[in-house]
Amino acid sequence: MRLGVAANDVRAACARALGAAVDAALDAVLPQQCAACGRTTGAHAVLCTACRDAIPRLSLGLCARCLADGAEPVGCRRHPHFTVWPAWVYDRRAEAVVHALKYHGRPGVAAVLGDALAAAGPPLLCADFVIDVPLHAARRRERGYNQSERLADALSRTLGVARLPGVLVRTRATHAQARLGARERRRNVRGAFEVCHPAWLQGRKVLVVDDVITTGATFEACLAALRDAGANPVGVALAWAQ
């Protein structure tokens, strides 16, 4: 286990060094326009710094289980393992970032979002591992990457905490959540996630990263699987689509 984590750290350090050089080259030859105001920005940036900083920030925990039940998600003390900390309110600027990352084939967008994710809430500090909400293999092949994995990488680098790949897996293909209502979303992902190496996570604080929390159904399913495996899971979302 220790060797595996050390190897992940080495790979992450190499990726950071290579990524910095690639980003500098891309910024020089492929400048982008801010999706909100039109100013020139970096190759991996959807928004300029001013527009990104103007996205409303959140610093509150949401209960994914209460949200999925249609109950008030803020301030819940009944479900301690189902808390999710979103970084942003899902406004038109946040939507532009999420869509670029998720639907427009721009995985590099995630690289500049580590600070935003890390600032979502104080419980994110002192974590043992960072993991992503997994895609089914068929969906990953279709998209070419997992956007949640890229966000988890960014948060891992910012916090200096190892990302643990392949521990949480999606056991079956599910329908796209964006096309479903609240009840259908919950039914769609119920039992769809499984922990492969529960012994690795016993008593460990694990951050689970996804792009958006809407009805809470996906986070509820992931956090339940990790809780049942003996972990102390906390969700992290880039944005809350209320």
Q: What is the 3-state secondary structure (H, E, C) of 128-144?
A: CEEEECCCCHHHHHHHC
- 142 belongs to a structural domain: yes
DSSP readout, 151-178? HHHHHHHHHT--B-TTSEEE-S----GG
Higher pLDDT, 170 or 154: 154
The two three-digit tokens of residue 86, written as one number = 């979103």
- Assign 174 a pLDDT band (cuts: 50, 70, 90): low
Residue 181 placed within a domain: yes
CB half-sphere exposure, 102, CA atoms < 13 A: 14
Task: With cut-offs at 50, 70 and 90, classify the pLDDT of residue 154.
Answer: very high
Cβ-based burial of 216 (10 A; exposed 0-12, middle 13-18, buried ≥19):
buried
DSSP 56-82: PB----EEHHHHHHTS--BT--S-TT-
Q: How many domains does the chain fold into?
A: 1
pLDDT tens-digit profile of 202-226?
A: 999 999 999 999 999 999 999 999 9
**Residues composing the chain:** 242
The answer to whether 55 touches 117, Cβ cutoff 8 Å, is no
Mean pLDDT of 164-193: 75
Q: Residue 174: CA atoms inside 13 Å, Cβ hemisphere, count?
A: 24
Residue 136: inside a domain, yes or no? Answer: yes
- Average pLDDT of the chain to the nearest whole number: 85
Question: What are the φ and ψ backbone dihedral angles of 215, each rounded to 5 degrees?
Answer: -90, -10
Domain-embedded: residue 39: no
Can you tell me the mean pLDDT for 84-104?
Answer: 95
- Is 23 within the bounds of a domain? no
CA distance 22 to 135: 26
Q: What is the pLDDT of residue 240?
A: 97
| Per-residue pLDDT at 242 | 86
Pair 123, 91: CB distance under 8 Å? no
Query: In the predicted model, is pLDDT for residue 106 greater than 70?
Result: yes
Summarize pLDDT for 24-57 with one digit per residue, the tens. Answer: 455 455 678 899 999 988 777 899 999 999 999 9
Q: Please give the pLDDT value at position 238.
A: 98
Q: pLDDT-derived band of residue 146, with 50, 70 and 90 as boundaries?
A: very high
Which among 147, 184, 171 is positioned nearest to 222, based on CA atoms? 171
Residue 15 has pLDDT above 70, yes or no: no
CATH of the domain at 150: 3.40.50
Q: Characterize the bridge pairing of strands 62-63 and 168-170.
A: unpaired
Q: What is the dihedral of CA 24, 108, 159, 237, to 10 degrees?
A: 150
- Does 201 score more than 60 pLDDT? yes
222 is in which domain, residue-wise? Answer: 56-240
Local confidence band at 123 (pLDDT 50, 70, 90 cut-offs): confident
Provide mean pLDDT across the span 125-141: 89
Nearest-Å Rg of the Cα atoms of the chain is 17
Phi, psi of 235 (to 5 degrees): -85, 150
Per-residue pLDDT at 179: 65
Tokens of 102: 């998720």
For residue 19, pLDDT beyond 70? no
Q: Is residue 43 part of a domain?
A: no
Q: Is residue 138 part of a domain?
A: yes
The residues facing 195 across adjacent strands are 168
